[in-house]
Amino acid sequence: MSRTPPVDDVIVNVDHNRGSRRQSRAWLGGLFRAVALAAVAVVLLVVLLTVTGQRTGEALIALVTGAAGTWYAITSATLVRAIPLALAGLAVSLAFRAGILNIGAEGQLLAGAAAATFATLAAPQLGVATIPLLLAAGCVAGAAWAGIAAFLRQKLGVLEVISTIMLNYVALHTVGYLVRGPLQESTHVFPQSFNIDRIAQLPIIIPRTRLHLGFVFAVVIGVALWWWLKDRAGGFRLRAVGANAHAAESAGRINVARTTTIAFLASGAIAGLAGATQLSGVTYSLYETISPGYGYTAIAVALLARLNPLGVLVAAVLFGALEAGANAMQRDAGVPEVLVSVVEALLILLVLAADRWRTRQVRMTEASI
Amino acid sequence: MIDAFLEATIRWSTPFALAALGECVSERAGVINIGLEGSIIAGALGATVGAGVFGPTFGFVAGALSGLVIAAFFGVFAVALRSDQIITGTAITMFSLGLTGTLYRLIYGASGVSLSTPTTGVLPLPVLSAIPVIGPALFIQPPITYALYVAIACVAWWMARTQSGLALRAVGERPDAATAAGINVRRVQFGAVLFAGAMAGLAGATLVLAQAGTFVENMSAGRGFIAIAIVVLGRWRPLGVAAASLLFGAAYTLQNLFQSLGLSNVPYNLFLAVPYVLTLIVLALFRSGTSSPAALGQREIVSR
């Protein structure tokens, strides 16, 4: 009987020592996986649309054109939505890799967006330094928000799943207060903040689209994280702790508390950055619905990518397309947009079931030997 | 004043106590069901539909059944396939929030304005409600609250005093030993999960049929997660859970009181955050320690 690690296979069975020779095959496998998941998502959507009695054909056409019908749809709908999903997805996957179930990316994202809004107040004095400052503020606020849950976990043994979810609600209501109080726009009518200064807005990287610099951040952080987890000692320690904290502590002499706390804070910082880039690149103003659940969708993104940072980038584009398409479906075919979260949840469950199935096959083979 | 406060506290506590009592049973069997939130929102929608067709009583039945169906879905993955309970529960909650949102818009239209369902009024119990101070608070309540009192007593007795209650606790502490003693661990856990789902469904039905009188998307507002914290605070005991629910009922009552006082210079959004902050404080102050079931969240039946 093989020893069972305390966390899920999704977290554990990820690219164990993929040698460079096997790299290309792994890439192919990943690509196959992405295509398969996209296909499954479409099948699930068709089934749900049919079962709920929608005009399936019309809805699907709206979905495809809304996500990838034109150059503008690809860059300004799909990829723009993929940015927060990728950043929050990287945040979630980093935490999950370390065995921390951070369900709080949503709250950390909101904290980041709120802090970034405060930072833009300094725009007239700071000029071009505003953007770095607001991004840093977002990271720090996200890390601090995650830090509350990290502290509660480390010092008081509070299950981070519950504490991060609670912190999501606290963040939501705090933003609700801020946009009706200290940060409200000057007419004091709408529950949203003032528009941020032009100099605080992230530059557009492709002319005549809405694709902003945040896209580059997501790709750079994704690749960096992938390399760090694969090749660096710190990355190895983090994976070891996530796979089996007890073994890492006793056999590997790894400081588990330190490793998990740092991973938790870094995860929060990346989620906070997602909020800051969303504010500075897309909405230009803070309001309660600045994130339509990106922090939750990010969990699906991370799990479907099997917590691999490069996979997260791919999955984020897939989910960005799904969300952009769903938006068009609601607009053009009257299909409730929330249907997409049903598809996302079913995808997570399918991946979980598939992983269990695979583990069971492996066990049976081991037993027969 | 104090009467009104106690009465409102019990009223607001009822959905928490219902859901937490179910979760308590599930956790004593070793299964932590984060999908509880999903069962609550499903129960709320099920109750809205059921009550609209056959009246409030059937609404509660429909609510319990809806919660149970969602929990069954959770059970297939977490208990039968033995996937990670927490990730499965998170996915189930996402699934249920999305599904209820979709169905609600399909059934009642995109805006869903001014949807109101028949509600159960209060049913004062003779004699008992005449007890000073606590009488009106405890016994001038909707019928579901009385059902809750009975359920708490039954579950407490069942868990502590019956063979099957012992089996449930054995499964949650040492599933391998329970298996050796001839207990079907999966069956016990699945049963506990279904019970928790039905109770959470009743909690959702209570939100609609005894409180709001309408369905709103995401109206469960994290109550399922708060219920899990209540189980920790109640030390995994039915009576403890019932007492812990009162704290959260009181928090909601105070929050509403502050809001209704109409202090326009005090932002109401900060009051809305109070129950969640309270949950964090409660979790921080009351460590789970040794009273949590030993095999809680454990995936493998045969321990290492």
DSSP codes of every residue in B128-175 = GGGSTTHHHHHHEE-HHHHHHHHHHHHHHHHHHHSHHHHHHHHHHH-H
Residues of chain A in contact with residue B228, where contact means CB-CB under 8 angstroms, are 162
| Residue A14 pLDDT exceeds 60 | no
Residue A177: which of B92, B99, B270 has the nearest Cβ? B270
Q: Do B273 and A170 touch (CB under 8 A)?
A: yes
Residue B95: which of A176, A181, A345 has the nearest Cβ? A345
- B146-163 pLDDT per residue, tens: 989 999 999 999 999 999
Residue A169: which of B103, B273, B288 has the nearest Cβ? B273
- A107-152 pLDDT per residue, tens: 999 999 999 999 998 877 888 888 999 999 999 999 999 999 999 9
Q: Do B280 and A163 touch (CB under 8 A)?
A: yes
Quick one: pLDDT at residue B187? Answer: 93
Closest A-chain CA to B74: A349
- B20-49 pLDDT per residue, tens: 999 999 999 999 998 999 999 999 999 998
CB B304: neighbour CB atoms within 10 A? 11
Q: What is the DSSP string of A112-170?
A: HHHHHHHHHTTHHHHGGGHHHHHHHHHHHHHHHHHHHHHHHHHHH---HHHHHHHHHHH
Q: Do A352 and B88 touch (CB under 8 A)?
A: yes
Residue A157: which of B91, B276, B287 has the nearest Cβ? B287
Instruction: Tell me the pLDDT of chain A averaged across its residues.
Output: 85
Rounded Cα gap, residues B181 and B139, in angstroms: 43
Quick one: pLDDT at residue A363? Answer: 59
Quick one: pLDDT at residue A364? Answer: 57
Q: Do A342 and B287 touch (CB under 8 A)?
A: no
Q: Do B87 and A10 touch (CB under 8 A)?
A: yes
Question: Which residues lie closer than 8 Å to A80 by C-beta, 6 or more apart?
Answer: A210, A211, A212, A281, A282, A320
Q: Do B267 and A177 touch (CB under 8 A)?
A: yes
Local confidence band at B241 (pLDDT 50, 70, 90 cut-offs)? very high
Q: Do B280 and A167 touch (CB under 8 A)?
A: yes
- A223-237 pLDDT per residue, tens: 999 999 988 888 888
Q: Write the burial class of residue A58 (CB in 10 Å: 0-12 exposed, 13-18 middle, 19+ buried).
A: middle
Specify whether the CB–CB gap between A123 and A200 falls below 8 A.
yes
| Residue B183 pLDDT exceeds 70 | yes
Q: Do A158 and B284 touch (CB under 8 A)?
A: yes
Quick one: pLDDT at residue A191? Answer: 86
**Considering the entire predicted model, what is its pTM?**
0.87
Closest CA to B79 of B195, B165, B189, B164: B189
Residue A3: which of B95, B98, B304 has the nearest Cβ? B304
Instruction: Tell me the pLDDT of chain B averaged across its residues.
Output: 86
**The most confident of A15-29, A100-114, A225-239, B232-246, by mean pLDDT:** A100-114
Quick one: pLDDT at residue A22? Answer: 53
ipTM of model over 0.90: no
Distance from CA of B67 to the nearest CA of A (A): 16
Q: Do B81 and A352 touch (CB under 8 A)?
A: yes
- A57-97 pLDDT per residue, tens: 888 888 888 888 899 888 889 999 999 999 999 999 999 99
Local confidence band at B113 (pLDDT 50, 70, 90 cut-offs)? low
Residue B81: which of A3, A165, A356 has the nearest Cβ? A356
A·B CB contacts under 8 A: 143
Q: In terms of pLDDT, which residue wins out, A355 or A296?
A: A296
* Percent of chain A whose pLDDT exceeds 90: 41
Residues of chain A in contact with residue B302, where contact means CB-CB under 8 angstroms, are 1
Q: Do B86 and A174 touch (CB under 8 A)?
A: no
Quick one: pLDDT at residue B156? Answer: 93
Closest A-chain CA to B225: A162
Local confidence band at B297 (pLDDT 50, 70, 90 cut-offs)? confident
Distance from CA of A140 to the nearest CA of B (A): 21
Rounded Cα gap, residues B96 and A344, in angstroms: 11
pLDDT (average), residues A313-341 = 88
